[in-house]
């Protein structure tokens, strides 16, 4: 598995949203003992990043988010198969085409 990702690569990042002690007081005790962590997939915006580096991505919904790079070319494990880069590019291109159509 590649240890370095380059700009435009499909990656997964992770970041701690709430640390232990910052979470709501009305959650179960077991839940309160762990931080609230997010995992997001997106296209790497920085020129290059290694696993464990802080990295900025753009999600398919055009959100720009920074977190720790935890996986390169992640795939879903619920049997839709591995990520296909060409299919990941279709959504943003289609969105731009539709926005141009609306502007007319």
**CA nearest 5: which of 40, 39, 56?**
56
Kindly give the confidence (pLDDT) of every residue in the chain, 104 residues in length, as a single tens digit, with 9 standing for 90 and above: 569 999 999 999 999 999 999 999 999 999 999 999 999 999 999 999 999 999 999 999 999 999 999 999 998 777 677 888 888 888 888 888 998 888 77
In this prediction the pTM is 0.72
Q: Of 70, 43, 40, which is closest to residue 57 (Cα–Cα)?
A: 43
Provide the pairing of β-strand 48-50 with 4-6.
Answer: antiparallel
Do 15 and 69 meet the contact criterion of CB atoms below 8 Å apart? no
Q: Which domain holds residue 48?
A: 4-103
Residue bearing tokens 């619920």? 78
40: which 2 tokens? 């997001």
Residue 75, both tokens: 């795939």
Query: Domain total for the chain?
Result: 1
Residues 6+ apart with CB under 8 A from 43: 8, 9, 10, 11, 57, 58, 88
């Amino acid at each position: 598995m590649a240890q370095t990702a380059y700009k435009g690569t499909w990656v997964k990042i992770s970041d701690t949203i709430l640390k232990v002690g910052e979470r709501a007081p009305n959650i179960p005790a077991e839940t309160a003992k762990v931080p609230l962590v997010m995992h997001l997939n997106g296209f790497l915006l920085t020129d290059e990043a290694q696993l464990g580096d802080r990295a900025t991505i753009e999600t398919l919904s055009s959100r720009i988010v920074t977190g720790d790079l935890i996986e390169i070319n992640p795939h879903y494990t619920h049997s839709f198969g591995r990520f296909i880069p060409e299919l990941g590019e279709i959504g943003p291109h289609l969105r731009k085409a539709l926005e141009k159509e609306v502007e007319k």
